[in-house]
Homo-oligomer: A and B are copies of this chain.
Amino acid sequence: MPDQNAGTSRLFGGVFNRGGAGAGDAAWLQALLDVEAGLARAVERAGRAPSGAGEAVTKAAAARDFSPAEAAEVARSAELTGNPVPGLARVLARRVPAFAAPAVHQGATSQDIMDTAAMLLAREAADAVLADVSAAADAAARLAAAHRGTLMIGRTLLQQAVPVTFGLVAAGWLAGLDEARAGLEAVRATRLAVQFGGAAGTLASLGADGPRVVTLLAEELGLAAPALPWHTQRLRVIDVAAAMARVTAALGKIARDVTLLAQTEVGEVLEGPGPGGPGGTGSSPSRGVTGGPAPGGDRAPRRGGSSAMPNKSNPVAAIAILGCARQVPGLLATLVACAEQEHQRAAGAWHAEWQPFSDVLRLAGSAAAWGVDLLAGLRVDSSRMAANLGASGGLPLAEQVTGLLADALGRPRAHDLVAGAAARAVSSGLPLRDVLLTALESAGADVAGITADQVEAALNPAGYLGASGAFIDAALRAHARDALG
């Protein structure tokens, strides 16, 4: 078979294939064989196959030495039947001793094996994603704690607004990651179930043994046993995908912020060199494809760098996260749309699930792995934050000054005085402080009680942070609680 359609993993390296949450050919093959092996053990335990059959099938399923001819047989059979399971079961049955062959695929329909394999892949992906999201959240928590008092300008609608702290920004990221993790944990714990119903969901070919085999199969594979087969009730598929989409959504928000904060004109954060680079944290080696160290030698490319443009430092991790995250909503929509499945097993809607499901797992895995990299290595430039905050000459504090003057002047007059001063400050380029003090001087007696020191104080952004600290603490407490639980 030509590998012309073999996916994009080799060429694109770890851009979309990081973090060990893959669901490509090899992973599917392994999962399908694991399910067949588990089923053989279950039917043996149910007394429906001779002693030793389960072990024999398990051994054959673990061999991982499919010949090209066998692989071609599976592929060809997939084209005749619409899925790879019949061919795979036939190859597997040939590989076991005759006494064990009847244990292979006993009572199952192809969809039983595929769906259960999908659940195994989802579990594997969830474990990788959960580990990475936890590590990313820990890194965000460290940033939130470390920068509890690091002042910066808050930005709304991409315009400077009022002061915040970088700790508050990081606490918001943290809250998103913790919520995403909690959701995925819940799905992993409660929604991954075996599929086993036979041709039309009755397990008729097992006679009265059906429910017992379901229970044993669930035990063998460590999945839940559902009340009844879910061949055409697809909420489990949606739940996995939605939980992964929540992960990429939380990470996408962070990545968007980092690309914006890392803009040349803003310069408040900078990505680190990545796990292989100098100063890399080393705490979170990406799994899977990314593998080895950066190439040695004196011309090793710098991450995010451009030899032609020495001024550039592209935020590669954030870009990769966005590149992953933006593919997920459309895939989730496909999976939700595919839930409209006919009768006992569907014609097409089920088949359309496989690749989007695999892609969602892989993309969430990659985004999460990049997320650890991004957050664990993030460099914060608090002096640029201070400079950007100061550049507006006090305008972001106008609201607080109005509050100060309102007692003496009444709110309307205070508002008008400050608004006028702000307008003059903008048009003249003078600091608001200077314009305000002049305005107050000419305003006369009734503001005599307001001192220049008070005005200075009201223009101090550190005094206008409201509940920022409390919010950071609340997010950190919630994170610590989650980490324990």
Contact = CB atoms under 8 A, between A and B. Distances in A.
Given A15-B79, A316-B82, A156 B344 contact: yes
A227 interface: yes
Nearest to A468: B202
Given A199-B161, A467-B210, A14 B343 contact: no
Given A227-B471, A347-B318, A22 B5 contact: yes
Contact of A343 (B158, B315, B475): B158
Nearest to A232: B253
Contacts of A79: 13-15, 274, 290, 316
A485 interface: no
B291 A355 contact: no
Contacts of A206: 466-467
Interface residues of A, number: 197
A198 to B, nearest CB: 7
Interface string A454-485: 00000000001111101110110110000000
A339 B157 CA distance: 15
B475 A228 contact: yes
Contacts of A109: 156
Nearest to A419: B310
A4 B24 CA distance: 5
Nearest to A345: B156
B13 A9 contact: no
A265 interface: yes
A312 interface: yes
A256 interface: yes
B253 A310 contact: no
Nearest to A23: B5
A250 B235 contact: yes
A204 B82 contact: no
A281 interface: no
7 contacts: A6-B25, A162-B202, A175-B228, A211-B471, A253-B339, A322-B352, A327-B352
